[in-house]
Structure 1
Amino acid sequence: MTGTVLQDAQDAMQALTGDPFFVTLSEDASGQGRMQLMDSNWIVCSQTPAAGEEFSEDTIITFFAVKIGETC
C-alpha cells in the first residue's frame, strides 16, 4: 500500500478481507507522534507486515504514514 492515501489503504484491506470490521492501525512515520485524524490527508510510507507477506485475521496490520506533501 506504499504511496497510497491512508484511507484508500485501509479501504483496500477491508475489501481484500471482506470484513467491514477488519481493523488496521496507523502511526506517524515522521517520528513526531501525530494522530491520523483525517486519514485522507496522509500517505502510506511503509507497512507491517511488509507487502507480499502472508497474514491472518489475528495479524496486526500497521500503516506508517506522513501528511500529504511530506517526505517519507
Structure 2
Amino acid sequence: MSVRVLVCSAAGLVALAAGTAVATADGSDGRAARPPVAHAAAKARVPNEVGRNHQKAQDDLQAHGFYNLREKDCSGRDRSLIWDRNWKVVKQTPAAGKRVSKNRVITLCSVKYTD
C-alpha cells in the first residue's frame, strides 16, 4: 500500500476521501509531482570505534552522520545488547578509514566487559 500526500483544498480532501481523482492547481493529477531523487548519498570516512565503549561508539558514528547502525554479540553467544554501556567494540564493518555512503550499514561487533 502506498501513501500519497497532496496539498489541496477542502473540496479536494472530500474528493480524496470519496476515492475520486483530484486535480492539482496546475491541472495534473499529482502523480508526476515528485521531488527529484538524489542519486548519490554523501560519503564520509568511517571513524575507528574498535576498543571504545559500545554506546560512545554509536554516539560518535551518529555525530559523523552515520545512522544506519547494527550491533552484534561477538562472543558467539548471540546475546542482545540491551545495556550498550556494558559492551566494548572489538570489530567493526566497514573498516575504519574507509570512505562510504552515510546510508551504508555500519556494524559494531562487541563483547561484554565481563567476557
Q: Distance in 2 between matches of 1:27 and 1:37?
A: 11
TM-score, structure 2 length as denominator?
Answer: 0.55
RMSD: 1.2
Alignment partners' CA distance in 2, 1:54 and 1:66: 26
Gapped regions of structure 2 (runs ≥ 5): 1-48
How many residue pairs match? The answer is: 67
- 2:110 is aligned to 65
Q: Which has the larger radius of gyration?
A: 2
TM-score (ref. length: structure 1): 0.86
Equivalent runs, 1:8-27 vs 2, <5 Å: 8-17=56-65, 22-27=67-72
Runs ≥4 in structure 1, deviation > 2 angstroms? none
User: Relative contact order (C-alpha < 8 Å, sep 6+): which is higher?
Assistant: 1
Q: How far has the Cα of 1:55 moved from its partner?
A: 1.5
